[in-house]
Amino acid sequence: MRARSVFNLCEAKQESLQVQRRSTDVLWGLANGRPAVNCLHMPQPLAPGDLAPDFSAIAVGGPYRDGQTVSLSDFRGKTVVLYFYPKDDTPGCTAQACGLRDRYEPFLEAGATVFGISIDSPESHSKFIAKHNLPFPLISDEAQRIVQDFGVWVEKNKEGRTYMGTERSTFVIGPDGRIKSIFRSVKPEEHAETVIQNLRNF
């Protein structure tokens, strides 16, 4: 009876807390030989039309220079492009950032505010911005709260090694604060043009 009650509670929570912060907490127990995930912290994946989870975090670069706290709710009334990437100054992430840098003008013409987000520190972001002359700010999510809220903190597998990391994903958020478009597992070299075309079709 207890197991059935917990199951029913999990189902109800998943339906009613769609955009609740995703948690890495787990209930360690035997479930087919693997840890049992705490389903009370497992909301449904975000989809277009959902209200984007709000957050407050340190942004560096652009108008924020060496670092200021920004909140997504500060940008109500504007279009926001949030692009999540795994790590500063790695080949794929550099190609993606430089592609946005080189095609930044169309984003401005579309009235879009661009933020890159990774779990790197503000200091790492500052070096990345300076090295590649990036015109847009980067947000530091060292506590991994934003990547979990947006459902992009995922299990990865490389050369047989399983680990948790950030899925390369982009969310376009409309002036009403709702998600208009989602691009998952994007290719770094094609990313900028893909998002630009999406903005032009709004």
- Token couple for 174: 């409309």
Question: What is the C-alpha separation between 120 and 138, in angstroms, rounded?
Answer: 10
- Token couple for 74: 């500060």
- Token couple for 53: 């989870």
Active site (catalytic) residues = 93
138, 62 Cβ separation under 8 angstroms: no
Question: What is the C-alpha separation between 127 and 76, in angstroms, rounded?
Answer: 29
- Token couple for 197: 């075309």
What residues have CB less than 8 Å from 146, skipping those under 6 apart? 53, 55, 57, 117, 139
Question: What is the C-alpha separation between 133 and 131, in angstroms, rounded?
Answer: 6
Question: What is the C-alpha separation between 140 and 119, in angstroms, rounded?
Answer: 6
Beta bridge partners of 71: 56
